[in-house]
Amino acid sequence: MSSSLDAREPASAERAQIMDARLLPAALCCWAVTIVVLGSGWLVGIAVALGSAVAAAGSAMVSRQGRFARAKVHRAVASTLLAAVLFGAGFALAAAWREYRVASHPMREAYGLSLRIVVTPTDDPKPLPSNTFGAERRWVVRAALREYHRAEATVRSGGRVVVFASGPEWADLLPGQPIEFRAQPQPPKNRDLTVAALHALGPPKPVAPPPWWQRAAASVRDDFADTATAVLPPDAAGLIPALVLGDTSGLPEPVREDFETAGLQHLCVVSGANFTILLTVVLFVVRTLTLGPRAAATAATAALVMFVVVARPDPSVLRAAAMGAITLLALVTGRRKQALPALCVAVIGLLLVWPELAVNAGFALSVLATAGLILLAPSWADWLRARGWWRLPAEVVAVSAAAFTVTVPIMVALTGRISVVAILANVLVAPVIAPLTVIGALGAACASVWPPVAELVLRCAGPPLWWLLTVAERTAALPGATITVPGGSIGGLTAAAFVIVAVCALRVAPIRRIAAVIVLSSTAVLLPVRLWNPGWPAPDWVLAACDIGQGDGLALSVGHGTAVVIDVGPDPRTMRTCLDRLHIHHIALLALTHPHADHIGGLTGAIHGRTVAAIATAPGELDEVGLSARAAVSSNAETARHHRTSSEEARPGAAVPDPGDCCSGGSAGRPAATPHTWSEHRSEATIGIDEGDNPAPSQRSRTPDDRTPITAPAQITEIAARAEIPLLELSAGHVMQFGPVELTVLSPAATHPRPRHPTDEPNDRSLVLTATTPAGRILLTGDIESPAQHRLLRNPTPLRADILKVPHHGSQTTTKEFLTAVHPRLAIISSGPDNTFGHPHPAILTALHSLGTTIARTDQHGDILIAGTPTHLRIHTRPG
């Protein structure tokens, strides 16, 4: 008898692992027809519904006539497909009705008019990225339309709208609070049952208070964020509300970018993992207290509801709750057979209530990730364990790899990028996610009722948050952390096909071995090249143009490990990486040609970990900062000189104008100022504010860290004061010698009118420099346009140069006369790929080609190095 039982046990276990996929065709059919109807219109929906009904009727007749002749399994398949078609017909009809209501909405007749509109926000305002430097922060708010006023008529109608607005008043809106404002409706960009895109023409006016439960949720979120800010460093304080509640309002932009590059962005939104961890802890506590099933179900439901309320009960959060419950079901039962039908039911139910989720990328990512955990991760973990892996590492790696694999097509379609380090980063942070979620949830619960306990709890989150931030920063900084691929629908479909083929092919042992050999060989060859950059830079390089996107970032080599840096691009991290690859340890002079963010934004990254002798600007560019800040710079620099011993000497060959003579207008060839080191401390600076005044945190000016772009001249002065770096003003006539390189300032003149406002002709106020180098004469032009170019043409100083940094990224504001006067053998254009400005302009390229000039572009070639002699220039490039 025992042997008979033993023989049956493997068969029983095998049957338990067989997938119950009967609902899968129905879920896929409902999803597909909803996408088709929302994308094509309600008439197509009716046609799909009728066609599905006819197909279902025909299939039922055929199945009925042959049911006795067919095998049981064939009848089951036929029934499953019949149910899927019927579900599809119903969903097509429902989606067609929703789409018809949107298509016939009365607001569509008011597109382009100015209306007074009343809406109820359904989610927190989300900041929009800005392509304009210094522009006012813009917000997007998803809302439900209540009514609008057209002339004397009031139209009361529902519908989903999306509001685009600018101004600080929009940042404080609460979901559920009706507001009134004037706006201009436009057609929505996406076909997702949105009635209109409302472009706000003024600030919002509250019409009624928000519901009590939304006020309570906002209070919990605010208290949680305030407590985190009080006890944690800035990055960690902004991150933990995002991890626990999906509140990204305080998340620093550098952290957000690090998480996106490292493939960890899913941690900053409320996902199924949050609910899975929360419910797991609740059930564990209930079982520890030996309570019954009813108590367990009640506690889990209460925790689920409270978490949904605090995290905002919008469709994305409810979707995450459903996916989390499904994942928990799979973990608790250990039977995937139950999890897959539950996932299909969740998909069908969510699409039934919110059809717009069918075209929502977050919904697709969530469903696919959950499906990967159910279908792929267990078998992959078993495969790893069969080869000697311990259970926990095998499951962590399998889960990360499965989630990454199934979501790659969506990420490719959305971003056109693949994070190569995503699996590694997710594996490294996996041990701290559950503790952080539990600690954060406990801290959020205590923040409003017992703040001291909340502070104590959140202090425990410090070490795991440090680990999470460190992993994100370090993996995102790895060369080649992301690769660019064709995006959009074609790219996504191609990636999906590749993933399906790869998953199926890797089940075959010989193919696995071949793939392993290819991956290991490629890694062995490419990894050293990407990490250690052998052969870069060339030993005799003279000029480097960094590939920093849309902006300028250049370096002149003036000695071993020493350079003169001209502009620092828009992003600190890219500029820091470029200078690190050039092995620059000391900056003899950092010249900022003009105060546009694409030239000064990367300042903190350029000086991070390097000594800097001085920062130079054109005359008057920092006047608007104020006398107190300028005095602070001078005071700090003087104090630093007094504190240094007399044995300290400047680096050889690094002569700069003396700070005391910066405005004299004469030439300077004096000994270097003592180098100053950029401090890595990320504290707040309050220039011109006495510490005894103790201003409120919101009133303090926060100094950017080494990853945060700067956007204003005031920040230059603030950073220089903290780092004790002298500030200089350069004007026409200054001559400086840096080892083998002589630098001469051509423009602007000291007598040029000082700017009264930061927006007064900033491009034409650019510093224009010539450098006499072993590779020939180099003309560095900043962003000067035709007026400044004509002034230079009237200057007696010759403009002829061997190498030209083309003004203003190749903009058409450069004159042909200027290019002819310079007549360069080599032109360098620093611009970003696919930039929205159309740089470089075709006319400029044509003019340069007509002069016989060789053109090197950072958007096409990456980092550019110039070496050699005037008669034998060499160009070295390194793709970014």
Q: Do 785 and 834 share a domain, yes or no? A: yes
Q: Do 678 and 817 share a domain, yes or no? A: yes
Rounded Cα–Cα distance for residues 464 and 458 (Å): 11
What pLDDT shows up at residue 96? 93
What is the three-class DSSP state of 63? helix
Main-chain phi, psi angles of 870, to 5 degrees = -55, -30
Judge whether 143 and 161 are in contact, CB under 8 Å. Answer: yes
Rounded Cα–Cα distance for residues 85 and 91 (Å): 10
- Start-to-end C-alpha separation, the chain: 69
Judge whether 545 and 863 are in contact, CB under 8 Å. Answer: yes
In a domain, 59, yes or no: yes
Q: Do 64 and 129 share a domain, yes or no? A: no
Q: Do 85 and 133 share a domain, yes or no? A: no
Which candidate, 319, 850, 257, places its Cα nearest to that of 549? 257
Contacts of 789 (CB under 8 A, 6+ apart): 807, 814, 815, 817, 818
Which candidate, 696, 637, 641, 261, places its Cα nearest to that of 483? 261
Judge whether 119 and 207 are in contact, CB under 8 Å. Answer: no
Which candidate, 796, 764, 751, 798, places its Cα nearest to that of 779? 798
Beta strand segments in 305-344, E: none
Kindly state the tokens that stand for 810.
């190749």
Rounded Cα–Cα distance for residues 326 and 335 (Å): 11
Question: Please, what are the averages of pLDDT over each run of 10 residues along the chain (880 residues)?
Answer: 40 50 88 92 90 78 55 70 88 92 90 92 81 66 90 85 90 89 92 92 90 87 91 91 86 86 86 77 80 77 81 75 69 62 86 90 86 87 89 88 90 88 91 90 88 92 94 84 84 90 85 81 67 76 92 93 94 89 93 92 90 91 53 41 34 38 37 35 29 32 60 86 90 91 90 53 89 94 92 88 94 92 94 85 92 92 90 84
Q: Could you tell me the CA-to-CA distances from 20 to 315, 339, 342, 370, 455 in Å, in that order?
A: 27, 9, 10, 16, 47
In a domain, 145, yes or no: yes
Rounded Cα–Cα distance for residues 741 and 556 (Å): 8
Main-chain phi, psi angles of 205, to 5 degrees = -120, 120
Judge whether 715 and 721 are in contact, CB under 8 Å. Answer: no
Q: Could you tell me the CA-to-CA distances from 15 to 12, 176, 381, 671 in Å, in that order?
A: 5, 49, 19, 83
551: left (phi over 0), alpha (psi -120 to 50) or beta: left
What pLDDT shows up at residue 552? 93
What is the three-class DSSP state of 62? helix
In a domain, 300, yes or no: no
Q: Do 110 and 98 share a domain, yes or no? A: no
Judge whether 666 and 733 are in contact, CB under 8 Å. Answer: yes
Rounded Cα–Cα distance for residues 331 and 325 (Å): 10
What pLDDT shows up at residue 647? 30
Which candidate, 158, 201, 211, places its Cα nearest to that of 180? 201
Which candidate, 47, 403, 445, 476, places its Cα nearest to that of 221? 445
The enclosing domain of 184 has a CATH number of 2.40.50.140
Q: Do 810 and 682 share a domain, yes or no? A: yes
In a domain, 331, yes or no: no
Total tally of structural domains belonging to the chain: 3
User: Do you know the residue count of the chain?
Assistant: 880
Rounded Cα–Cα distance for residues 655 and 197 (Å): 57
Q: Taking each helix axis as running N to C, give the angle between helix 72-103 and helix 24-40, from 0 to 180 degrees, rounded to the nearest 10.
A: 30
Q: Do 71 and 196 share a domain, yes or no? A: no
- Token pair 């040609």 is found at 593
The residue out of 195, 210, 225 marking a domain boundary is: 210
Main-chain phi, psi angles of 438, to 5 degrees = -65, -45
Contacts of 855 (CB under 8 A, 6+ apart): 826, 827, 829, 845, 848, 849
Judge whether 58 and 11 are in contact, CB under 8 Å. Answer: no
Contacts of 54 (CB under 8 A, 6+ apart): none
Q: Do 673 and 755 share a domain, yes or no? A: yes
Per residue, what are the HEC states of 740-768? CEEEEEEECCCCCCCCCCCCCCCHHHCCE
Kindly state the tokens that stand for 538.
């060339």
Q: Do 750 and 674 share a domain, yes or no? A: yes
Q: Do 41 and 141 share a domain, yes or no? A: no
- Token pair 């071995």 is found at 513
Rounded Cα–Cα distance for residues 269 and 246 (Å): 4
The enclosing domain of 862 has a CATH number of 3.60.15.10
Which candidate, 616, 613, 266, places its Cα nearest to that of 425? 266
The residue out of 103, 129, 164 marking a domain boundary is: 103
Contacts of 68 (CB under 8 A, 6+ apart): none
Judge whether 735 and 742 are in contact, CB under 8 Å. Answer: yes
Q: Which helix (DSSP H) or strand (DSSP E) does residue 284 occupy?
A: helix 272-288
What pLDDT shows up at residue 646? 31
In a domain, 450, yes or no: no
86: left (phi over 0), alpha (psi -120 to 50) or beta: alpha
In a domain, 500, yes or no: no
Domain with 809, as residue range(s), is: 541-690+699-878
Contacts of 600 (CB under 8 A, 6+ apart): 567, 568, 592, 710, 711, 713, 716
- Token pair 């922060």 is found at 137
Which candidate, 431, 435, 437, 426, places its Cα nearest to that of 403? 426
The residue out of 210, 244, 259 marking a domain boundary is: 210
Rg (CA), the chain: 32
What pLDDT shows up at residue 118? 94
Q: Do 63 and 187 share a domain, yes or no? A: no
In a domain, 562, yes or no: yes
In a domain, 65, yes or no: yes
Q: Do 116 and 179 share a domain, yes or no? A: yes
Read off the DSSP letter of residue 709. Answer: P
Judge whether 780 and 769 are in contact, CB under 8 Å. Answer: yes
Rounded Cα–Cα distance for residues 216 and 214 (Å): 5
